[in-house]
């Protein structure tokens, strides 16, 4: 049985006219003799509206009820797509997560998929029926509705592709594919034809919103090829695949950036063993993700300044946790919310010397000061003033020949 999994994002199913267009795309794969499994997001804007309603009830809305509430948007999309296919004379049936079932852990609002029971879907596929599966949701072993985190319909699709041994997984969105950088920041951004799992994982974790990080990691672990393309117009899209399948790697594949970072500096921390652990332990316990970290030790080695970055929305909570922490001493806290992280990503830098120098030189020529630096095997990130972000992206895009 030749199976394809097709996933449609919120903008792709945002209106009735778009749902009619999506139905034509689904049927085009059926004409190619595929057994089609469809995964859909909620109509664009619907999940945000549901979240706003929960906040009007309570700022700490119960997580179990939250999952029941925000998962309802996908139910509407499923029914509309299935109804449209039936009106065109084709067999179809909608499936919510619990009807498949997609079994998850008990981590409400950000659950992980433990298991997919393939029996029900396989049964209707064998009868020529097109299943329309609600993305973003599942059910716990306790029988409670669960959700997989924002943007996780991709995660649903890629997991189904794994369990059904699909020939391909196609993610339909409102862009042509994965771009070298965000076109809103730089108009000369180009579409990337092929990108490795590792590069895509870095780009998604560093600010690219084409795919959620969990989804890319799932594809990487299962070695599932994923094609990202537009549902609005015909285009080749971007293939996310393993490194071995990619020929002629560029040194740098793409540039990612963020605008919601805050830089926290603890000045005059008494330097002693365990002080870093004492600073970051309460943050970890409160699910505050710490990103870039720099420690500067004074000449007499008695004091140190510790700088790290977090998301803007966690600033107040982080500062309160530090002020209430009696495990270490410091002189003062400095907070800067007007910063952005700028990153270059590419497996080509593994075998190419001088990439770091070229990046820093390009920024220096444009009078952009680097505040913090972090690196990995295929990524270099710098923290800069937010006002310099677009200028920095343009400089690096040109330096690494991504305009061509």
Q: Write the pLDDT tens digit of every residue in 154-208.
A: 999 999 999 999 999 999 998 889 999 988 899 999 999 999 999 999 888 776 6
Q: Please give the pLDDT value at position 229.
A: 93
- Percent with pLDDT over 70 in the chain: 98
Q: Please give the pLDDT value at position 299.
A: 60
115: nearest Cα among 126, 125, 105: 105
* 244: pLDDT strictly greater than 90: no
Give the confidence band of 293 by pLDDT, cuts at 50, 70, 90. Answer: very high
Give the confidence band of 150 by pLDDT, cuts at 50, 70, 90. Answer: confident
Higher pLDDT, 235 or 337: 337
**Chain segment 246-263, per-residue pLDDT in tens:** 876 689 999 999 888 999
> H/E/C letters for each residue in 342-383?
EEEECHHHHCCCCHHHHHHHHHHHCCCCCCEEEEECCEEEEE
The CATH number for 3-174, chosen from 3.30.830.10, 3.40.50.720, 3.40.1160.10, 3.30.300.350, is: 3.40.1160.10
Question: What is the fold, at CATH topology level, of the domain defined by 257-399?
Answer: VC0802-like (3.30.2130)
State the pTM of this model: 0.83
- Percent with pLDDT over 90 in the chain: 76
Where are the domains positioned within the chain? 3-174, 257-399
Q: How far apart are the first and last CA of the chain?
A: 41
194: nearest Cα among 138, 154, 240: 240
Mean pLDDT value of segment 363-386: 94
23: nearest Cα among 95, 83, 74, 105: 83
């Amino acid at each position: 049985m030749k199976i394809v999994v097709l996933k449609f994002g919120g903008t792709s199913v945002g209106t009735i006219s778009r749902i009619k267009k999506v139905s034509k795309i689904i049927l085009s794969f059926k004409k190619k003799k595929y057994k089609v499994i469809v995964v859909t997001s909620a109509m664009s804007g619907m999940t945000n509206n549901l979240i706003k309603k929960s906040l009007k009830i309570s700022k700490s809305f119960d997580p179990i009820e939250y999952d029941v509430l925000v998962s309802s948007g996908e139910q509407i999309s499923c029914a509309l797509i299935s109804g449209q296919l039936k009106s065109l004379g084709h067999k179809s049936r909608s499936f919510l997560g619990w009807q498949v079932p997609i079994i998850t852990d008990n981590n409400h609002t950000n659950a992980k998929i433990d298991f997919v029971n393939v029996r029900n879907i396989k049964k209707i596929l064998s009868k020529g029926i097109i299943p329309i599966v609600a993305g973003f949701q599942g059910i716990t072993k306790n029988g409670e509705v669960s959700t997989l985190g924002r943007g996780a319909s991709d995660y649903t699709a890629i997991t189904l592709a794994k369990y059904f041994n699909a020939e391909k997984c196609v993610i339909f969105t409102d862009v042509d594919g994965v771009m070298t950088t965000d076109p809103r920041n730089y108009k000369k951004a180009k579409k990337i034809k092929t990108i490795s799992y590792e590069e895509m994982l870095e780009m998604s974790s560093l600010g690219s919103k084409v795919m959620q990080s969990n989804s890319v990691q799932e594809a990487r672990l299962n070695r599932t090829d994923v094609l990202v393309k537009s549902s609005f117009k015909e285009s080749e899209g971007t293939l996310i695949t393993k490194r071995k399948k990619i020929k002629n790697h560029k040194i740098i594949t793409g540039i990612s950036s963020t605008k919601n970072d805050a830089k926290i500096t603890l000045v005059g921390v008494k330097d002693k063993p365990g002080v870093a652990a004492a600073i970051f332990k309460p943050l970890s316990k409160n699910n505050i993700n710490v990103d870039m970290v720099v420690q500067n030790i004074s000449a007499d080695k008695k004091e140190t300044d510790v700088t790290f970055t977090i998301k803007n929305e966690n600033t107040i909570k982080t500062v309160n946790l530090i002020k209430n922490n009696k495990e270490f001493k410091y002189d003062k806290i400095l907070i800067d919310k007007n910063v952005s992280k700028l990153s270059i990503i590419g497996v080509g830098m593994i075998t190419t010397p001088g990439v770091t120098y070229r990046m820093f030189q390009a920024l220096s020529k444009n009078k952009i000061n680097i505040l913090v630096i972090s690196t990995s095997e295929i990524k270099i990130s710098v923290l800069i003033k937010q006002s310099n972000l677009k200028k920095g992206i343009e400089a690096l895009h040109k330096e690494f020949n991504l305009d061509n």
